[in-house]
């Protein structure tokens, strides 16, 4: 029996993961602002489920709940940082408040979660952190600039942290699902559109999402199954792309960046001191 802590567990991938883990007999700390989605799970799991209801952007509350979770269960094997949402709109269209909330929820809260759990993971002799990022941590779409800023940001943060904590038997996995049927699109925070962007790539993406033409191939249940499989494995890779869309888009983006780097090698090397 393993013990997991999952943020953003009241909906989407987090809720599915909590349900699957409890069904196989594991223990779960489910973190979310809404308690109602956990009620059926509580009836099934009893004291194997601990519910922590708080706003993840409240750092003091986050630290208290993390401390309480480790104290209650004694050991947490895997911490799954899953909380987040999408902010939709061209960069010029976004309000200051929308920008601040997106960064606070997707980036700062994820950073603070990692900082809160690391002392406990070190003290227990190791553990695993799984960050639910997105293909959007490696590629970018118009109208998701701030969402991408948070995902690219948390991936860079965790790539550094993974090197820092490896000596303590703590490893890190960054999960990068492609577009997946989770309700993510319905929960987007939309900026007020500016007509000037109607005939631009931003306008094209806006129309594709509004019309349903934006293709979503990812299956939520299968995506979670893959995430659990990776989290259970002995030596997982740092990054795992999930779904054909993620694989194709990330592969294309990495190949393009490599081509750009190689094409300017002479100019790049000219920056060295002679």
Q: What does the pLDDT average to over 194-200? A: 95
Q: Give the Cα separation of 34 and 116 in Å (integer).
A: 22
Q: Is the pLDDT of residue 236 over 90?
A: yes
Which pLDDT score is estimated for 80? 98
Q: Which of 110, 133, 134, 145 is catalytic?
A: 133
Q: Which of 10, 11, 30, 110 is catalytic?
A: 10
Q: Which helix (H) or strand (E) holds 98?
A: helix 96-102
Which pLDDT score is estimated for 143? 95
The CATH architecture assigned to 3-248 reads 3-Layer(aba) Sandwich (3.40)
Q: Are 60 and 67 in contact (CB under 8 A)?
A: no
CA dihedral over 257, 260, 262, 264, signed as positive or negative: negative
Which bin fits 60, alpha (ψ -120 to 50), beta or left (φ > 0)? Answer: alpha
What pairs with residue 6 in β-bridges? Answer: 30, 80
Q: Give the Cα separation of 238 and 195 in Å (integer).
A: 42
Q: Which of 11, 81, 134, 151 is catalytic?
A: 151
- Confidence class for position 228, pLDDT limits 50, 70, 90: very high
Neighbours of 25 (CB within 10 A): 10
Q: Is the pLDDT of residue 212 over 80?
A: no
User: Does residue 244 carry a catalytic annotation?
Assistant: no
Which pLDDT score is estimated for 139? 96
The residue whose two tokens read 């740092």 is: 238
The residue whose two tokens read 């909380």 is: 83
Q: Which helix (H) or strand (E) holds 128?
A: strand 127-132
Q: Is the pLDDT of residue 44 over 90?
A: no
Q: Which of 85, 141, 147, 197 is catalytic?
A: 147
| pLDDT per residue as tens digits for the range 106-152 | 999 999 999 999 999 999 999 999 999 999 999 999 999 999 999 99
Which pLDDT score is estimated for 57? 95
Domain residues of the chain, as ranges?
Answer: 3-248
User: Does residue 256 carry a catalytic annotation?
Assistant: no
Which residues have C-beta within 8 Å of that of residue 76, sequence separation ≥ 6? 3, 4, 5, 29, 69, 70, 117, 120, 121, 124, 127
């Amino acid at each position: 029996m393993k013990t997991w802590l999952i943020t953003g567990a009241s909906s989407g991938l987090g809720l599915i993961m909590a349900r699957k883990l409890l069904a196989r007999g594991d223990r779960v700390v489910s973190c979310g602002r809404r308690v109602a989605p956990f009620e059926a799970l509580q009836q099934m799991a009893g004291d194997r489920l601990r519910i922590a209801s708080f706003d993840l952007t409240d750092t003091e509350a986050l630290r208290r709940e993390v401390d309480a979770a480790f104290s209650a269960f004694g050991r947490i094997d895997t911490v799954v940082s899953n909380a987040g949402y999408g902010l939709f709109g061209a960069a010029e269209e976004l309000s200051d408040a929308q920008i601040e909330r997106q960064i606070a929820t997707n980036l700062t809260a994820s950073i603070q979660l990692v900082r809160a759990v690391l002392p406990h993971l070190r003290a227990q002799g190791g553990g695993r952190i799984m960050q639910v990022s997105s293909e959007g941590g490696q590629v970018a779409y118009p109208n998701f600039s701030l969402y991408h800023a948070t995902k690219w940001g948390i991936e860079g943060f965790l790539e550094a942290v993974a090197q820092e904590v490896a000596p303590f038997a703590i490893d890190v996995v960054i999960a990068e699902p492609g577009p997946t049927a989770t309700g993510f699109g319905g929960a987007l925070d939309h900026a007020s559109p500016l007509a000037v962007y109607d005939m631009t790539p931003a306008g094209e993406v806006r129309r594709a999402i509004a019309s349903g033409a934006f293709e979503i191939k990812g299956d939520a249940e299968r995506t979670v199954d893959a995430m659990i499989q990776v989290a259970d494995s002995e030596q997982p890779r740092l990054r795992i792309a999930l779904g054909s869309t993620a694989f194709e888009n990330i592969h294309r983006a990495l190949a393009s960046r490599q081509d750009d780097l190689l094409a300017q090698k002479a100019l790049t090397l000219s920056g060295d001191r002679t």
